[in-house]
A = this chain, B = another copy of it.
Amino acid sequence: MPDKKKKFIAVIGGSDASPEEVKLAEEVGRELAKQGAIVVCGGLSGVMEAACRGASSAGGLTIGILPGDSAKAANPYVQIPIATGLGYARNVLVAKSAQAVIAIGGSYGTLSEIAYALQGNIPVIGLKTWALSRNGQPDDSIIRMESPIEAVKIALSLAVDH
């Protein structure tokens, strides 16, 4: 049974991920589990599956918030599938159910999750992902890291109840 004090950290990124992104996601998931955190993700393949696989390998709990109506669409390492049937609107749930977000690579779906997290003042740590600027001024809200271990450390230190 999970401890109420456990942190919920979202790992976001593409379902179609590069080998480097998969490796990063698996290390992030494993380290989150080692540190006692629960992994929240979109439940599908690529970065999501790698993060769940990493977390599972270290005995961690994994939650997959799925776009479709069927829990069967979850990757094999999702332990708690939430079948929303909401399509892309489920992205907001992935971001807002977490106390911090780690973004790894990703395309426009990932960008929507980053945007939702930042809008809710949820810290976003980025590994090889989007960078933002507005009217020619960089927006440094995404905390850029290179190492998955460091990304997890920062995410857990910044995670705040909301």
Contact = CB atoms under 8 A, between A and B. Distances in A.
A120 to B, nearest CB: 7
Given A111-B115, A115-B112, A61 B1 contact: yes
A88 B85 contact: yes
Contact of A119 (B61, B112, B129, B134): B112
A93 interface: yes
Interface string A60-85: 11010100011110000001111111
Copies of this polypeptide in the complex: 4
B2 A79 contact: yes
Query: Chain A, interface size: which category?
Result: 35 or more
Interface in A110-143: 111-112, 114-116, 118-120, 128-136
A146 interface: no
A31 to B, nearest CB: 17
Given A59-B1, A82-B65, A119 B92 contact: no
Interface of A: 1-2, 4, 8, 38, 56, 59-61, 63, 65, 69-72, 79-89, 91-93, 96-97, 105, 107-109, 111-112, 114-116, 118-120, 128-136, 161-162
